[in-house]
Structure 1
Amino acid sequence: MNTTVGVILNQGQVTERTMTCLKLITRMLERGVHVRVYAIDNATHHTSGSTPFARAVTELIRSGGGRGALTWLVDEASAECFGLCENQTKGVVLGSASDLWNIVTASDLVLTLGVDA
């Protein structure tokens, strides 16, 4: 049986915490964990454009992250608010509050990162 981990991101700045979270996701995927990320609020910026963070997410999605599986969802309402719906990196899926609820209820463990002040 595979473990599923939900990761909820809402911190918009790329910091040591967000980069560590990306490394943690990478390591979980290498160990066969299924990871479902939901980015909301300012975190929708992480996968827009061609930033190093966005490129790293694209590579993880493309490669399948090793033995695990990665689904990266971005809250559509938040992305729309920032004008980022059309600028998300390849492989990122626009999601809704029901997707967030599904991640939380279907995961064996849920991690949250950051609260922008």
Structure 2
Amino acid sequence: MSYTISLFTVGTKQKERQSAQPDFFEKDENLEKFTPKQQSELENRLLKYQYKSAGNNSDGKIFEHADFGEAFLTDSALYFSTSNDFDCILEVGMTASEFTDTGEFAKYDVQEGGWEEV
């Protein structure tokens, strides 16, 4: 079993908050796409955090971290997945929070009840 933390645009967060759809995240049209610049910045930041490129699939790019699991970058979200180990969850959670420091992105942790408020 794994633990997943997601990063979306602030626009997606605003849309989700205004929506009454329980399946909001399951519909691609609800998710605001990253700009090419944002995608590039997220990729570069993953590399700085010691995530290594592990290939692509039809939906996005896969990155792996030797200690903390993997990250999956799509055109509208960045998904961090790790084991249920407390230290891994803490590290991945802090990383995702740090990625919101530009004000462009919002962290969503379904296991913790939703959006992170800073």
Give the TM-score normalised by the residue count of structure 2. Answer: 0.31
Higher strand fraction (1 or 2): 2
Higher helix fraction (1 or 2): 1
Give the TM-score normalised by the residue count of structure 1. Answer: 0.31
